[in-house]
Amino acid sequence: MSTRQRGFTLIELAIVLSLLGLLFTLLTPWRSYWQYQKYREAERGLEAAIAALEAHLLLHRSLPCAANETGAEDCSKTAGELPWRTLGLPRYDPWQRPWHYQVATTLINGKEISVQTASDIAISVKDAEEDVILADNLAAIVWHTGAKADSDSVPNELRISKTLLPSSDHDNRARWLTVATVKNQLAKQGVLTTTMK
């Protein structure tokens, strides 16, 4: 009686490995597609956040405070989560992390906004690739840290990528309102005061 060893032959292993390689090759473009879709969803989320902030500004003549973990506004801090409950927005970005938000203290809590109102936000927004300042004198800024999640803390300098699928180490994206934009919108509504009280 002969004993035969059990196992796979080299040909069987080669066939399985080549099928796995072919499957991987076919699925790689889908991974890029899903990543692209997440960045597109994040762009829509940022645009919705700015639109909601502008609506809040016109309705209440001020911007909302940053939110705590429950989504309630916490006016003891100006940086933290986007006040998603106040604005009626989802709490999380496409990577299931809270949207980041910072607002100037001169523009929150029903404070009267005048032509002399200035920003106290110390973030400078720079292009990740070209190292040039894109925005300053911010009234409010909303951002996400992308798939790479650079940091959850409030930065002094926020480097963002202008391309939808970033190639650099920085895949942060942001949208902001400048103090000038806030003043222009309030002036159009006829509610911008000319003197500080």
Q: Residue 196: its pLDDT value, please?
A: 44
Is 133 contained in some domain?
yes
Is 3 contained in some domain?
no
Is 5 contained in some domain?
no
Q: Residue 118: its pLDDT value, please?
A: 72
- The mean pLDDT values, 10 residues at a time, for the chain of 197 residues are 73 90 79 82 93 91 89 86 94 91 82 70 66 76 78 56 52 82 85 60
Strands 173-178 and 138-144: antiparallel
Residue 159's contacts (CB-CB under 8 Å, 6 or more residues apart) are: 126, 127, 128, 170, 172
What is the domain range of residue 57? 11-189
Is 83 contained in some domain?
yes
Is 164 contained in some domain?
yes
Is 132 contained in some domain?
yes
Is 197 contained in some domain?
no
φ, ψ of residue 176 to 5 degrees: the values are -150, 160
What does the alpha-carbon distance between residue 81 and residue 153 come to, in Å, rounded to a whole number?
Answer: 11
- Looking at the structure of the chain, the number of domains it has is 1
Q: Residue 156: its pLDDT value, please?
A: 52
Q: Residue 193: its pLDDT value, please?
A: 67
Cα dist. 158→74, 153, 184 in Å?
23, 11, 25
Structure tokens at 160: 């963002």
Is 46 contained in some domain?
yes
Q: Residue 197: its pLDDT value, please?
A: 42
Place of tokens 């992308």: 146
